Structure 1
């Protein structure tokens, strides 16, 4: 027993050192890149000034690096949760893996509802109309608070039955139910954290959002260690640790966004707040396709869980760990996607069509390059990545195999992530949502159900790799065809100033 907990302590110190390193890296990165340079370049976009190719690339990198760090540290939080619980055994791991897709469903609904507001904020900032940007900002917080409380009530109501609905064994249903109950109570704080960070990104302040994500990861490590091992709460301890981390970070980042931001601080308003239904209606038009997509995509993940569940607890745990480990590789793509959404949103609001197209193509190329490299890293180090999450040999072997299958699809996964982010920045959400749904339901799930019968979890992940390649190709076609920019009129005498 002493040897076991000694190895856990070593593992825990490793992640603590990683979190400390990422925080120091963020500070160094902030000093090197400088948020003031990014602010100046973003101001050039709003003011119709020319930008060279070097300046555009510099701005993309300046916005992408902190956003990548934020995405990676967010995934590390789930990686840490899964790894700490993984050392408690296969049943504990399966209890979290069973309800993980449902938790992602709730998070994706919150995210989708916020996008409709954040896109409008980004467009108004690009048009130099900061007053309207703050008005939309106020509407966003009011609507999101109401939605998060509604989702909290639903989560609490279904937490006891959910593991049974998902086909989980009786041995893991209790822990799954308790984990989901604690998660449900955390939903309002999760909403505050991510909405505040999204609004910061709209203004181009990726640095603060990144720093808060690093802090979230550090606190998650500490609280998890206390609740899981010192208090001996196991799976429930992992849920409580994550909840405390969100509570301790969501409140300060909300204050910094609403009170300290140079563009969105509410104290800058000199006119009384009035409710404007047009902002809500426009948000709904943008968000509804994303919300439906998020529900059906997460529903597809739940169906995928149902396909995996009959394969046994080893397959459930290996699938959950592989998903978590793969997240470390595709989160840089989401980081670049965040930068693309900000840049496309502001250039779209500024009506700079050529600059908007240029940023779109450059971010997609960078995303595919980075994730191709990450795919190679994942292929080589798959045994070590799964090994950090579980000491069970059967889980490690199966997880390694499916990760290596997925590695080949990473560049096309990047294309789908970044192009989708570009479309969101332009307010083009309906067709990309349809493309995602067709690809997921008609290609991935059909293939997964067929291949799982003969090849088990390896068949499920083969279907995933094929589908991601297909989806990436569809999005690349939409990008270069240019329909996502339909309706945007070029400002006269703006892009003619562009230099090469």
Structure 2
């Protein structure tokens, strides 16, 4: 491949993934706006447990990646039959795993708001939201695993299209489940819309139902339509094999432990934010969603980096592996740098759409403008991590993420929050993301992994 072909292939794989990531954030943005119209308490209820939902999602994501990276390597080497064997074992193993994680989430849901130190007024809604989320974790696991397998086979379009569909379904279900029955005037017409009036619980139920529908479609497409990984009329055993599980643990366990450690740190940060009051909790939650508009393109490019690096590595094309690493990381830094500029300029407008409460959007805009400075380096960290995942090298990058968030972000947030409030927490985040980007760039440029790809 010449350089232009490499750029074109990177763009072809990145753009659908970016669209999917942006559609996911659009769904969260719309959810937040709808729930925000119910008041600060409803927004704070969801914001309180958001870091814990990331913890559970991250564990499922790491478990799925342990299998999908193996599939990418096998596809790169041309061993499609063995790749399908890994797909079968992945579904059998992860259905059991995700069910166990779901039961754990259901068990802790009544106690979670108390553990996080929130005001009693939001305990019930926060607990119910997390209960509904946890109950549908097996469907989330199927959706993630099927989409990940398709992307590793080079099919970025179908997972992206289905993620956009999920957003549309979620919006429709939100209108029905969050709000009560009402009449909407459209010119001379008056339309009566049935509504369940479930509030925060309706928002949770709409999201998980949309995810379940998409999980079913994604699974059907992988099973019946994928030319490489399709299992329809290709019989085989679903019994997990020790060698496959060992490889999955080698790849996925460092990522899972890293997710647990990082999300635990974020939960601790939530306990730092919670005593600052309902306005601070809501502003923090809305700002996280708004900032996602910037870094989701980075995650889309990171998915492409995983696929490109994984297949090139499996094919033994080591110089191509290195070039894909440089191209994808450079692209992410450029895109997220531009997004950071937009975030800084339009922070008040972005936040005000999600909440009618003036105190919330003023505080949210202030902290977003702090975070905007870190976006290019955050992009470097995101995509470098995805690149190393594609190589199956997850231990050192996971340790780097862990040390960065615990050693820099959490320490600085603890020191700055008492004096600066929520702005101190976000200043700590900005400094930590810049530091994390620098150490990942150093690993990409000078790390020991390069010796293996010198030929």
Q: Same fold (TM over 0.5)?
A: yes
Are positions 1:453 and 2:403 aligned together?
Answer: no
Q: 391, 394, 400: which is aligned to 2:359?
A: 394
Q: 2:264 aligns with which of 299, 303, 309?
A: 299
User: C-alpha separation between the residues in 2 aligned to 1:353 and 1:403?
Assistant: 40
Cα offset for 1:276? Answer: 2.1
Question: Who is 2:184 aligned against?
Answer: none
Q: Which runs of 5+ in 1 are unaligned?
A: 1-50, 491-500
**Match for residue 107 of structure 1?**
57
Pick from 20, 29, 34 the counterpart of residue 79 of structure 1.
Answer: 29
Q: Could you tell me which residue of structure 1 aligns to residue 100 of structure 2?
A: 150
User: Which residue of structure 1 lines up, in the alignment, with residue 219 of structure 2?
Assistant: 254
Contact preservation (8 Å) 1:131, 1:269 = no
After superposition, where does 1:9-408 map in structure 2 within 5 Å? Answer: 51-229=1-179, 230-267=195-232, 269=234, 275-408=240-373
Task: Tell me by how many angstroms 1:481 deviates.
Answer: 1.0
Tell me the secondary structure at the aligned position of residue 267 of structure 1. coil
After superposition, the Cα gap between the structure-2 partners of 1:306 and 1:273, relative to the gap in structure 1 and judged at 3 Å, is: closer
User: What secondary structure sits across from 1:233 in the alignment?
Assistant: coil
Aligned pairs for 1:424-439 (under 5 A) are 424-439=389-404
Q: Could you tell me whether the CA contact under 8 Å between 1:368 and 1:411 is conserved in 2?
A: yes
Q: Distance in 2 between matches of 1:111 and 1:322?
A: 24
- Contact 2:15/2:300 (CA < 8 Å) preserved in 1? yes
Quick check: 2:29–2:354 contact (8 Å CA) kept in 1?
yes
Whole-angstrom distance in 2 between the partners of 1:154 and 1:192: 18
Rounded to whole Å, the distance in 2 between the matches of 1:413 and 1:238 is 30
Change (3 A) 1:170 1:381: same
The answer as to whether partners of 1:423 and 1:484 remain within 8 angstroms in 2 is no
1:47 paired residue number: none
Whether the aligned pair in 1 keeps the contact of 2:388 and 2:394 (CA below 8 Å) is yes
Normalised by the length of structure 1, the TM-score is 0.86
Instruction: Work out the CA distance in 1 between the residues paired with 2:112 and 2:411.
Output: 24
Q: CA shift at 1:275, angstroms?
A: 3.9
Superposed CA deviations along residues 161-184 of structure 1, whole A, max 9, x for unmatched, are 111011111100000011111111
2:346 and 2:159 map into 1 onto residues whose CA distance is 29
Note the alpha carbon deviations across 1:191-226, whole angstroms, 9 max, x for none: 111111111100110000100000000000000110
Say if 1:392 and 1:271 are closer, same or farther in 2 by CA, change over 3 A. closer
Q: TM-score, normalization: structure 2? A: 0.95
Is contact 2:374–2:430 with CA below 8 Å preserved after alignment? yes
Deviation at 1:483, TM superposition (A): 2.4
Contact 2:152–2:307 at 8 Å: present in 1 too?
yes
In structure 2, distance between residues paired with 1:252 and 1:317: 34
Aligned alpha-carbon RMSD (Å) = 1.2
Q: Secondary structure at the match of 2:178?
A: helix
Query: For residues 160 and 274 of structure 1, what CA distance do their matches in structure 2 show?
Result: 36
The secondary structure found in structure 2 opposite 1:266 is: coil
Query: Which range moves more in the overlay, 270-279 or 244-253?
Result: 270-279
